[in-house]
Chains A and B, each alone.
With several copies, the nearest count.
Chain A
């Protein structure tokens, strides 16, 4: 338990402020497949964004802008719900 803080340094009652650095990098949880988009086919319906359980769909200026693979757990939901069928699951080699 090296690196863990002693009791004197912990916040009162364990109340914490959010610190993104302390969140697990859940991209590592993927088990072989990752989503890939063919942007040409994207109609910007953002249904992938709505239904992604891991907030791994990036939206910039209201438009679909790719995947956050640090977060994406590879569930394939985006691929399944994309009405344009423009998301495919591909081998996760990285």
Chain B
């Protein structure tokens, strides 16, 4: 089983990211689980979400204590939040940031999204994560995004954002 933790501010789409990533993996034949962690704090406050996936059916419902990867959608969180908390040995930390960020894998998602004229920083990071972990494929991501969000948003915009993140990491 693999476990991902997503950090963001409420309203930045971490829940969507966690679900989209799970939905794509589900299409890819994995068993998955995605859930957010809410508090009473409102838009702007730090929050978390999680994705779990495995070859075998996932039955457990305990908290994700030791994630295999951490994705930080909002760089300012690095100030207040210990994003490495519980991270497994050798675990991956992906941060939406320019250049390098505390030695974490930086993805300039803000800029990449802006470059596409979109707000989908979260999707860029999902693409980046998939590339970093090697699964699911970009196509699976894109088709899952179309199914999950396509009713409200142009699927091409979704696909582009995912691709931008994916390629950024893939190309290294």
Decide if A29 touches B80 in the complex (CB within 8 Å): no
Which partner residue on chain A sits nearest B74 by CB separation?
Answer: A31
B residues less than 8 Å from A26 (CB atoms): 44-45
Residue in B9, B77, B80 whose beta carbon sits within 8 Å of that of A25 in the complex: B80
* Complex: A4 Cα to B28 Cα, angstroms: 40
Decide if B41 touches A24 in the complex (CB within 8 Å): yes
Q: Mark A16-33, 1 if CB is under 8 A from B, else 0.
A: 000000001110111100
B residues less than 8 Å from A30 (CB atoms): 44
Decide if A28 touches B76 in the complex (CB within 8 Å): yes
B residues less than 8 Å from A24 (CB atoms): 41, 45
A-side residues, CB < 8 A to B, are 24-26, 28-31, 73
A residues less than 8 Å from B43 (CB atoms): 29
Question: Chain A binding site: helix, strand, loop or mixed by DSSP?
Answer: loop
19 contacting pairs across A/B (C-beta < 8 A):
A24-B41, A24-B45, A25-B80, A26-B44, A26-B45, A28-B44, A28-B46, A28-B76, A28-B77, A28-B79, A28-B80, A29-B9, A29-B43, A29-B44, A29-B45, A30-B44, A31-B9, A31-B44, A73-B44
Given A28-B46, A28-B76, A29-B45, 16 further pairs, Cβ under 8 A: A24-B41, A24-B45, A25-B80, A26-B44, A26-B45, A28-B44, A28-B77, A28-B79, A28-B80, A29-B9, A29-B43, A29-B44, A30-B44, A31-B9, A31-B44, A73-B44
* Complex: A25 Cα to B45 Cα, angstroms: 10
* Complex: A26 Cα to B41 Cα, angstroms: 10
A residues less than 8 Å from B41 (CB atoms): 24
A residues less than 8 Å from B77 (CB atoms): 28
Q: Mark B56-96, 1 if CB is under 8 A from A, else 0.
A: 00000000000000000000110110000000000000000
